[in-house]
């Protein structure tokens, strides 16, 4: 990493180079749905692709880490924060273009807003994803899915930016999608996606979305800060059921607590720290493994942690 990082000269260099909003030592608490996390050395909101390309070239030449935060809906950022640049694409890369059944959406667009826009335009195929928090970019990173649907079902291609600022288009077949596994190449950033949607009845789509949203509200703890499902579904089992059967509902570490409504959610109930949440994750994994011989795999992404399992 550049020895001047993140000292004043590096910040001034980037100030001159970039056009978007650039902030030093930005707390990441307000950018994560857990409402935890320390500061990023620099926080950047590019105005457009060219602005992002300028940053990418700068950090690559100096070996400075970067991370795209999206809506922070599936992240556990450490209390120490992130050494490097955190990039938020919601301001500059949120375009939406609709041509018949072909739809192109910027990675900074919010998934919830995108799905309602599809419903208003009588375009179906992804309506069952309603209620999943996050951006289009985050959804592609995780191959977001629910109720038997995944965002990759309708995907045609993804525009990505390489470390040198070059933009390339990847067809769906070039990306090894799987269960909660999407486009995860660490040296590239998703810019936009192109989808092939299905002609559908708008009223039917809205009815389906409303019903799924009611089901989510009835089964998930949505009134407290969380990051959604903490663990992936083990083959042939459900993480929440295993956690509940291990007697862990309501278990607390500091301000972090296992939800009594859905055991695969950890809630920030009383000013939890990221370390509280991580310690509770370790406790859950240990207890479930000892009880059932199942090793739960994290669905939450760890950011800024050193020497973690």
Q: Where are the domains of the chain?
A: 8-87, 96-205, 222-303
pTM of the model: 0.91
Quote the CA–CA distance of 294 and 46 in Å, as a whole number. 43
Q: What is the pLDDT of residue 12?
A: 87
Quickly state the pLDDT bin for 148 (edges 50, 70, 90). very high
| CATH number of the structural domain 8-87 | 3.30.43.10
Match domain 222-303 to its CATH number in 3.40.50.620, 3.40.630.10, 3.40.50.300, 3.90.78.10.
3.90.78.10
CA distances in angstroms from 157 to 40, 152, 170, 190, 232, listed in the order given: 31, 9, 5, 11, 25
Tell me the catalytic residues: 180, 229, 299
User: Residue 88: enclosing H or E segment and its boundaries?
Assistant: none
pLDDT at 133 over 80: yes
What number is the average pLDDT over the span 137-146?
94
Q: By the 8 A CB rule, do 79 and 61 touch? A: no
Which range (1-5, 96-100, 127-131, 244-248) has the least confidence?
A: 1-5
Residues 28-38: tens digit of each pLDDT: 999 999 999 99
Q: What is the pLDDT of residue 191?
A: 97
Q: By the 8 A CB rule, do 301 and 74 touch? A: yes
3-state SS, one letter per residue, for 181-246? ECCCCCCCEEEEEEEECEECCHHHHHHHHHHHHHHHHHHCCCCCCCCCCCECCCCCCCHHHHHHHC
Residues 228-281: tens digit of each pLDDT: 999 999 999 999 999 999 999 999 999 999 999 999 999 999 999 999 999 999
pLDDT at 6 over 80: no
Q: By the 8 A CB rule, do 285 and 308 touch? A: no
pLDDT at 150 over 80: yes
pLDDT at 308 over 80: no
Residue 190 C-beta-side C-alpha neighbours within 13 Å: 31
pLDDT at 213 over 80: yes
What number is the average pLDDT over the span 55-72?
92
| CATH number of the structural domain 96-205 | 3.30.465.10
Greater pLDDT, 87 or 13: 87
Q: By the 8 A CB rule, do 178 and 147 touch? A: no
């Amino acid at each position: 990493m550049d020895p001047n990082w993140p000292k004043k000269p590096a910040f001034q260099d980037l100030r001159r180079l970039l056009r978007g909003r650039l902030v030093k030592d930005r707390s990441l608490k307000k950018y994560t749905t857990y409402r935890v996390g320390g500061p990023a050395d620099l926080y950047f909101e590019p105005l457009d692709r060219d602005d992002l390309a300028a940053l990418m070239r700068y950090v690559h030449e100096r070996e400075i880490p970067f991370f795209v935060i999206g809506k922070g809906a599936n992240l556990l950022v450490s209390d120490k924060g992130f050494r490097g640049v955190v990039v938020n694409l919601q301001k500059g890369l949120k375009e939406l273009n609709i041509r018949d059944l072909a739809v192109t959406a910027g990675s900074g667009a919010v998934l919830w807003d995108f799905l309602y826009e599809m419903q208003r335009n009588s375009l179906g195929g992804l309506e069952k994803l309603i209620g999943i928090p996050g951006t289009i970019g985050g959804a592609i990173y995780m191959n977001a899915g629910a109720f038997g649907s995944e965002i990759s079902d309708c995907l045609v291609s993804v525009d990505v930016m390489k470390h040198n600022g070059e933009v390339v288009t990847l067809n769906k077949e070039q990306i090894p999608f799987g269960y909660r596994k999407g486009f995860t190449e660490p040296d590239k950033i998703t810019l936009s996606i192109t989808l092939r949607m299905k002609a559908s009845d708008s009223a039917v789509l809205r009815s389906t979305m409303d019903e799924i949203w009611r089901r989510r509200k009835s089964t998930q703890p949505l009134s407290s800060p969380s990051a959604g499902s903490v663990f992936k579904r083990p083959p042939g089992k459900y993480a929440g059921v295993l956690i509940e059967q291990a007697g862990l509902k309501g278990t607390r570490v500091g301000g972090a607590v296992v939800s009594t409504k859905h055991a695969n959610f950890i809630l920030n109930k009383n000013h939890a720290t990221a370390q509280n949440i991580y310690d509770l994750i370790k406790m859950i994994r240990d207890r479930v493994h000892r009880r059932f011989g199942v090793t739960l795999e994290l669905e939450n992404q760890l950011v800024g942690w050193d020497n973690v399992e």
